[in-house]
Amino acid sequence: MSAQSAAPTLYRADSAWLSSGKVIQPAYILVRDGKIATVSSGKPMMARNLQVVEIKGVATAGMVDAWANLVPADLLSAQVRPASLQVTDALPVDLPGVDPALAMRVQSARRAGVVAGYLGTGGSEMQQGLGTPATFSASNLPVSTGKPALDLAMGSARMGGSGQFKATKQVSELLSSAQTLQDNLDEYSEKLEKHEKDLEEYKKKLKEFGEKKKKEEKAAAEGPGKNGEEQKKEKKKAPPKRPKPPAKPTPSLTQSWLLDVIHGERVLRLHAESAWDIQEALELQEKYEMELVIVGGHEADLVAEALAEAEVPVVLPVHSSYLTAPSERSFATRYQTLTEAGVKVALASGTGDGSRALMLMRAGNLVAAGADKADVWASLTAIPAAILGFENGPGSLSPGAPADFLLFHGPHPFNASGFQTHSAKGGLLK
């Protein structure tokens, strides 16, 4: 079975979990051009002539990995990553066979139920640079889409390595310098405006000067000549001076990225682990009114109320290094504290293909520990999709979304051994 062809395909699943939380039974999913056209419990009129492809199981949205590392191997293995790193520059051209190793990893992610993700600038640790949300192509390569973000790691995120980690004060200073730059740019705009007026004035004066000079030369040539002293005096009249343009402030790359953050054109993803750093980040968020996401957040639960009040989401990695916490603050406890406080929590692989392959299972462990199934499922789908700026896109089973969805067997999707991924380009993955 394949949805490769341009012809629309109508699937009939036993039921479907919709993004709204509603369950429909049975579920007809019309797929056209690799995207979901309609989802309904009855056969859609527009597809009445199509042959129905029966698929067993419950259809639901695919998972969105809010912190993935599905980038080319050389980017992952680089010991020192430049602070100016832009992930989009490192992504391979979307052609079959261009990066088979990456394609295999993406296919593995798809098999694990992941249909999109955020490609950060670090491997095991997020550092500094521009990352991007991405979906996966027919060649199993990441394709940049959605709202780009600036990754910045705070001191408490350090787990080794030689990356560029910023102390809280440094992050504050960076934002402050970006704000100062903005003030300077505003001042520059004013000066530029004045300069343009001065320039007009100058042109006018220059014209007058030229005309006057021409007139005088003509008069001198035609009329009785002035004596030598008068002519010398005339020569001393200099032409008007051209006004100098104001100097334009030249921002650093980081400053210009942070300016985009301050202008709301880019999300700031701060990798911060300690409660202290997260609290400081929230103060900066309030000061600069920027769109902030906390990534890592090992102690985010300790400031859950503040995060909820500031409506700042948290990306919690399910990697084993994040699961080892004192028993009184286990991963499940931390997750539940955040969700119960009203914080939007996205679960992510964080690093490594292994934690991505185990993402659904570790999410299921949260349910086993008492977390609400719907909350946990939203943490794998709708919440990360919203953080990455996907609307009716990956992470939802709704019209307009890519036809990359999951089929599970049983009462819920956390039975990791009982689900399959449907790929828009490859049908049901074996």
**Which residue lies nearer to other proteins by CB, 38 or 124?**
124
Contact 59, 24 (CB under 8 A): no
Asked if residue 358 binds other proteins (CB under 8 A), the reply is yes
Cα–Cα distance measured from residue 64 to residue 309, given in angstroms and rounded to the nearest whole number? 25
Asked if residue 325 binds other proteins (CB under 8 A), the reply is no
Binding other proteins (rule: CB under 8 A), the pick from 243, 367, 399, 428 is 367
User: In sequence order, what DSSP letters do the residues of 189-232 get, joined into one string?
Assistant: HHHHHHHHHHHHHHHHHHHHHHHHHHHHHHHHHHSPPPPHHHHH
Say how many residues touch other proteins, by CB under 8 A.
Answer: 35
Asked if residue 136 binds other proteins (CB under 8 A), the reply is no
Asked if residue 364 binds other proteins (CB under 8 A), the reply is yes
User: In sequence order, what DSSP letters do the residues of 326-337 get, joined into one string?
Assistant: -GGG-HHHHHHH
Asked if residue 104 binds other proteins (CB under 8 A), the reply is yes
**Which residue lies nearer to other proteins by CB, 137 or 320?**
320
Q: Where are the beta strands (DSSP E) in 18-154?
A: 23-24, 27-32, 35-40, 52-61, 63-68, 114-119, 128-136, 142-144, 149-154
Contact 222, 214 (CB under 8 A): no
Question: What backbone phi and psi angles, to 5 degrees, belong to 219?
Answer: -65, -40
Nearby residues of 217 by Cβ (< 8 Å), 6 or more positions away = none
Q: CA separation (Å) from 92 to 62, 89, 372, 379? A: 24, 8, 39, 29
Only segment of 170-178, 190-198, 242-250, 317-325 that touches other proteins (CB under 8 A)? 317-325
179 burial (CB, 10 Å; 0-12 / 13-18 / 19+) is middle
Asked if residue 368 binds other proteins (CB under 8 A), the reply is yes
Cα–Cα distance measured from residue 237 to residue 232, given in angstroms and rounded to the nearest whole number? 10
**x/- string (CB under 8 A) for other proteins, residues 61-100?**
----------------------------------------
Cα–Cα distance measured from residue 219 to residue 332, given in angstroms and rounded to the nearest whole number? 96
Q: 3-class DSSP state for residue 128?
A: strand
Asked if residue 319 binds other proteins (CB under 8 A), the reply is yes
**Which residue lies nearer to other proteins by CB, 226 or 329?**
329
Cα–Cα distance measured from residue 12 to residue 19, given in angstroms and rounded to the nearest whole number? 18
What is the nearest approach in angstroms of other proteins to the Cβ of residue 43? 30
Asked if residue 160 binds other proteins (CB under 8 A), the reply is no
Binding other proteins (rule: CB under 8 A), the pick from 219, 354, 391, 400 is 354
Asked if residue 329 binds other proteins (CB under 8 A), the reply is no
What is the nearest approach in angstroms of other proteins to the Cβ of residue 128? 25
* Helix H or strand E encompassing 376: helix 373-380
**Which residue lies nearer to other proteins by CB, 144 or 415?**
415
What is the nearest approach in angstroms of other proteins to the Cβ of residue 63? 13
Residues 398-427 that bind other proteins (CB under 8 A): 410, 412, 414-419
Only segment of 200-208, 243-251, 370-378, 384-392 that touches other proteins (CB under 8 A)? 370-378
Interaction site with other proteins (CB under 8 A): 104-105, 107-108, 111, 319-321, 352-355, 357-358, 360-365, 367-373, 410, 412, 414-419
